Amino acid sequence: MTLTGIIDSLKTILNPSKIINSLEEAASFTGSSESDSEEDLKINPYFDSENGATSSSKAARISQNKDEPLIKLTNVWKIYQMGEVEFAALKGINLEIYEGEFLIILGPSGSGKSTMMNLLGCLDIPSKGTVCLNSKDISELDESELAIIRGQMIGFIFQSFNLLSTLSTEENVLLPMEFQEDDRQMARQKASYLLDIVGLSNKKGNLPSQLSGGQKQRVAIARSLAVNPPIILADEPTGNLDSKTGDYILDFLDGLHQRDGKTIIIVTHDIELVRYATRVVYIRDGEIEKIETRSKNEPDMKNEPDTKNEPDTKNEPDTKNEPDTKNELDTKNEPNTKNELDTKNELNTENEPSIKKEPDLE
């Protein structure tokens, strides 16, 4: 694929109005490494000393009402048109996703997972029904508004990594900050910091082709965190990795959830991943089959299926079981405030022992 093609493919994720200029400036943006001293890496550039909290993206700074879902799908249909033929890939989905959840959307091939991911990530809009992100109906936003809210709220991780092949590791991590961080020096500090916490500070000049699969995915994770979005949305994040490296990536995402309070949403066919989840949404043939609320690392499915999305109710937004879910989340999955991003001057370096104890992942 040409560079133009790669850029085009990323336009849907990043702000299209600025990316071309950004790439042209990328070399000067990232060219020098003079300021990357050990000292820089120890300081969390996301920490805002004025208010004693870790700065997040502009949208995330808008105070969230925790009773409101971060993402809400109401009677969502996605119908693909193939000539004269229509195919409903999603059929009346109702789903509310709350801050602090680790949600796994699990389904077999063709069940509608990618279609769902595209809607949850505001990469597509529904044919019918509404998708609200941060209480905004995404169908009412134009493409540039959508790109902005998407850029602020969601970090994406893909099975195929989606790194720009002609840009270095550091430049890939810098890309999302082009639209959020005006201070280039600060952006570079943040990129250094993120590459450090994913254990790749020694690879910042490497091209993606010079990295292993696990390393590429760690770059993708660093990139997803660049603007410190409240939501990380991952499509089969371990699909191209061996099981050991996959576990490492999942443990890292788990740390982001447990320590930093990120809302993690993973779309996968791999049932092994449910051990990380606080809720599992099973989809089949474009419909939600059942939803299970779980305790982290439960060996078995102990919870009764939540029936709120069963066929007889699928066309109505059902809120009857939501309070239970929210209340559980509020108590079980509240990040440990001692280690929370907002309350300390380090993102993960001290509390992520697994990152630097995996030399064989290099």
CB of 2 to ligand ATP, least distance (A): 23
Burial of 86 (0-12, 13-18, 19+ CB in 10 A): exposed
CB of 109 to ligand ATP, least distance (A): 3
The nearer residue to ligand ATP, 116 or 341, going by C-beta atoms, is 116
Q: 263 near 97, Cβ under 8 Å?
A: yes
CB of 216 to ligand ATP, least distance (A): 20
Beta bridge partners of 233: 156, 265
Residue 230 found at the interface with ligand ATP (CB under 6 A): no
Which residue type sits at 143?
E
Q: 259 near 87, Cβ under 8 Å?
A: no
Residue 52 found at the interface with ligand ATP (CB under 6 A): no
Determine the Cα angle at 121 with ends 120 and 122, to 5°.
95
CB of 320 to ligand ATP, least distance (A): 27
The nearer residue to ligand ATP, 44 or 309, going by C-beta atoms, is 309
Determine the Cα angle at 282 with ends 278 and 283, to 5°.
145
The nearer residue to ligand ATP, 136 or 269, going by C-beta atoms, is 269
Residue 109 found at the interface with ligand ATP (CB under 6 A): yes
Residue 159 found at the interface with ligand ATP (CB under 6 A): no
Residue 140: strand, helix, or coil: helix
The nearer residue to ligand ATP, 114 or 217, going by C-beta atoms, is 114
Residue 121 found at the interface with ligand ATP (CB under 6 A): no
- What would the DSSP string read from start to end of 63-77? PP-TTS-SEEEEEEE
Integer Cα distance of 221 and 198 in angstroms: 8
CB of 11 to ligand ATP, least distance (A): 18
Which span (82-90, 127-135, 297-305, 327-335) binds ligand ATP, by CB under 6 A? 82-90
Residue 91 found at the interface with ligand ATP (CB under 6 A): no
The nearer residue to ligand ATP, 269 or 275, going by C-beta atoms, is 269
- What would the DSSP string read from start to end of 169-201? HHHHHHGGGGGT---HHHHHHHHHHHHHHTT-G
The nearer residue to ligand ATP, 1 or 82, going by C-beta atoms, is 82
Q: How many residues bind ligand ATP (CB under 6 A)?
A: 13
Residue 87 found at the interface with ligand ATP (CB under 6 A): yes
Q: CB neighbours of 79 closer than 8 A, spacing ≥ 6?
A: 86, 87, 88, 89, 127, 128
Residue 284 found at the interface with ligand ATP (CB under 6 A): no
Which tokens hold the place of 244? 């050991």
Instruction: Among 45, 69, 92, 107, indicate the residue that binds ligand ATP (CB under 6 A).
Output: 107
Helix 184-197 × helix 16-30 angle, to 10°: 80
Residue 74 found at the interface with ligand ATP (CB under 6 A): no
Give the per-residue SS3 of 247-266. Answer: HHHHHHHHHHHHCCCCEEEE
Give φ, ψ of 158 to 5 degrees.
-120, 155
Residue 80 found at the interface with ligand ATP (CB under 6 A): yes
CB of 95 to ligand ATP, least distance (A): 15
Instruction: Among 30, 74, 94, 114, indicate the residue that binds ligand ATP (CB under 6 A).
Output: 114
257-276 residues in contact with ligand ATP (CB under 6 A) are 269
Helix 184-197 × helix 213-224 angle, to 10°: 140
- Which of 312-346 are b and which e, b meaning 16 or more Cβ less than 10 Å from the residue's Cβ? eebeebbeeebeebbebbeeebebeeebbbbebeb
CB of 82 to ligand ATP, least distance (A): 5
The nearer residue to ligand ATP, 57 or 94, going by C-beta atoms, is 94
Q: 37 near 195, Cβ under 8 Å?
A: no
Residue 112 found at the interface with ligand ATP (CB under 6 A): yes
Instruction: Among 82, 182, 243, 312, indicate the residue that binds ligand ATP (CB under 6 A).
Output: 82
The nearer residue to ligand ATP, 43 or 87, going by C-beta atoms, is 87
Residues making contact with ligand ATP (CB under 6 A) = 80, 82, 87, 89, 107, 109-115, 269
